[in-house]
């Protein structure tokens, strides 16, 4: 069945209302719910159908989001590690491709002008639309009356009169609208994106710092258990994840890749640990990792109260199921492997942002000089009599 348009659907109240508002006009809308290691609820699809009657397609934005986080987003990070402007540009680009595949005529979002201080400011919204290449396609139905009419409104496909003029951060009008549509369950505002939380940034930052090409799977693993790193100048940083509960244990088993090692206790119940690329770690490092890992098992700490020189046996398994056993003394100081605190992450983020800005300035200067040089070469007669033009000044004829 052909569609009229697609809608970027986060599952938040605004995107639900935008979908219902357009459907109320009789438009056939395909809701696109993008998922990545940082956001998305792929399992909520049937609930959305049941609660709101919406057909939601789950789509993957993982590789694009990981690239943004790793490669430094063009418009920078927000307060934490959230690259909101570039994220929106990215999702709109993906939605444009999907809209074309489905034969739709527009892309809608649930954005409300002025709702967020940065990414929903008018100038930033225009920039996002432009850089995503959706100038003629983007419809923002909840605040359309504050914006210029779009081609899908001018053509009569969408009835502009039935679009809204919401503005600002209040939610009362959205709640009234939810009542109008008879919504029995209203999603709580904000949240949902792990990149906006400092605790998660402490897990993600080492990945972008230490792993040359972190993958989607790496970032998914970073959402699991205790995240611990050991990094020494001049050596490869080592990453260990220790489960906090049985669910983490299962997840770590599923995450284990060819070069990883799984570690567990031979004689006590307790967590397991995943040592990423552990097959390549030197023996002394493996021993230090296991010493620290066993200290997270409550039964080991209880046993240590009775026997202060306790040795604990740890099994180490490779993906091919081969296994070895190591005896270690628990390291209760737990400092050899650690994770950065937020202040450290923030300081490094600011330092990198300043460096990027300096690089950009230098690039702009080089470009200016190249333009001036090209102009002088093409106007040899003017060289001695006229000052060089500013980079953006048009040469007079």
- Nearer CB in complex with ligand SF4: 196/227: 196
> How crowded is the C-beta side of 47, counted as CA atoms within 13 Å?
11
Buried b (16+ CB within 10 A) or exposed e, 353-380: eeeeeeeeeeeeeeeeeebeeebeeeee
User: Taking the alpha carbons of 287, 292, 293, 295 in that order, is the dihedral positive or negative?
Assistant: positive
Nearest-CA neighbor of 295 among 203, 207, 226, 218?
226
What are the φ/ψ torsions at residue 372 (nearest 5 degrees)? -60, -40
Q: How far is the CB of 83 from ligand SF4 (least distance, A)?
A: 6
Q: How far is the CB of 66 from ligand SF4 (least distance, A)?
A: 12
Q: How far is the CB of 257 from ligand SF4 (least distance, A)?
A: 27
Give the separation between CA 305 and CA 110, rounded to whole angstroms: 57
Give the separation between CA 157 and CA 105, rounded to whole angstroms: 9
List residues near ligand SF4 by CB under 6 A.
Answer: 39, 82-84, 87-88, 193, 195-196
- Nearer CB in complex with ligand SF4: 193/326: 193
- The tokens for 64 are 């694009």
- Nearer CB in complex with ligand SF4: 88/276: 88
Give the separation between CA 101 and CA 50, rounded to whole angstroms: 26
Give the separation between CA 194 and CA 115, rounded to whole angstroms: 20
End-to-end alpha-carbon separation of the chain, Å? 58
Q: How far is the CB of 291 from ligand SF4 (least distance, A)?
A: 38
DSSP annotation of 338: B
Q: How far is the CB of 116 from ligand SF4 (least distance, A)?
A: 9
- The tokens for 189 are 């505002």
User: Taking the alpha carbons of 252, 255, 256, 260 in that order, is the dihedral positive or negative?
Assistant: negative
Q: How far is the CB of 192 from ligand SF4 (least distance, A)?
A: 7
Q: Is 22 helix (H, G, I), strand (E, B) or coil?
A: helix
- Nearer CB in complex with ligand SF4: 66/263: 66
Q: How far is the CB of 166 from ligand SF4 (least distance, A)?
A: 18
- Nearer CB in complex with ligand SF4: 177/193: 193
- Nearer CB in complex with ligand SF4: 126/301: 126
What ranges make up the beta strands (E) of 91-140?
A: 106-108, 138-139
- Nearer CB in complex with ligand SF4: 83/110: 83
Q: How far is the CB of 23 from ligand SF4 (least distance, A)?
A: 24
Nearest-CA neighbor of 219 among 63, 92, 338, 73?
63
- Nearer CB in complex with ligand SF4: 110/271: 110
Give the separation between CA 60 and CA 97, rounded to whole angstroms: 13
Q: How far is the CB of 31 from ligand SF4 (least distance, A)?
A: 16
Give the separation between CA 263 and CA 31, rounded to whole angstroms: 43
Q: How far is the CB of 86 from ligand SF4 (least distance, A)?
A: 8
> How crowded is the C-beta side of 9, counted as CA atoms within 13 Å?
28
- Nearer CB in complex with ligand SF4: 193/238: 193
Give the separation between CA 86 and CA 90, rounded to whole angstroms: 6
- Nearer CB in complex with ligand SF4: 45/116: 116
Q: For 103-195, where are the alpha helices, taking DSSP H only?
A: 122-131, 151-154, 172-180
């Amino acid at each position: 069945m052909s569609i009229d348009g697609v809608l970027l659907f986060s599952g938040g109240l605004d995107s639900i209302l935008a979908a219902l508002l357009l459907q109320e006009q009789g438009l056939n809308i395909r809701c696109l719910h993008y998922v990545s290691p940082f956001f998305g609820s792929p399992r909520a699809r049937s609930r959305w159908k049941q609660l709101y009657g919406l057909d939601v397609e789950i789509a993957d934005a993982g590789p694009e989001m990981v690239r943004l986080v790793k490669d430094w987003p063009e418009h920078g990070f927000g307060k934490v590690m959230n690259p909101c402007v570039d994220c929106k540009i990215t999702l709109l680009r993906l939605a444009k491709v999907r809209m074309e595949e489905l034969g739709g005529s527009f892309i809608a979002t649930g954005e409300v002008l002025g709702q967020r201080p940065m990414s929903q400011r008018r100038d930033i919204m225009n920039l996002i639309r432009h850089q995503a290449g959706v100038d003629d396609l983007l419809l923002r139905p909840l605040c359309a009356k504050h914006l210029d009419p779009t081609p899908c409104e001018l053509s009569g496909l969408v009835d502009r009169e039935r679009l809204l003029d919401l503005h600002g951060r209040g939610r009362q009008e959205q709640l009234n609208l939810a009542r109008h549509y008879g919504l029995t369950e209203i999603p709580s505002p904000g949240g949902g994106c792990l990149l906006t939380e400092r605790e998660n940034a402490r897990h993600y930052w080492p990945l972008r710092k230490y792993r040359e090409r972190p993958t989607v799977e790496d970032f998914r693993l970073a959402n699991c258990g205790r995240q611990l790193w050991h990094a020494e100048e001049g050596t490869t940083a080592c990453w260990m994840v220790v489960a906090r509960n049985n669910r983490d244990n299962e997840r770590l088993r599923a995450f284990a890749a060819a070069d990883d090692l799984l570690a567990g206790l031979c004689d006590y119940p307790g967590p397991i640990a995943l040592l990423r690329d552990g097959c390549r770690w030197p023996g002394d490092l493996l021993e230090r990792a296991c010493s620290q890992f066993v200290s997270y098992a409550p039964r080991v700490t209880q046993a240590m109260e009775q026997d202060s020189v306790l040795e604990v046996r740890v099994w180490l398994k490779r993906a091919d199921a081969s296994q070895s056993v190591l005896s270690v003394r628990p390291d209760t100081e737990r400092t050899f492997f650690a994770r950065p605190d937020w202040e450290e992450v923030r300081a490094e983020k600011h330092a990198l942002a300043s460096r990027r800005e300096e690089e950009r300035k230098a690039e702009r200067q080089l470009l200016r000089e190249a333009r001036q040089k090209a102009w002088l070469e093409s106007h040899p007669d003017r060289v001695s009599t006229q000052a060089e033009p500013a980079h953006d000044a048009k040469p007079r004829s």
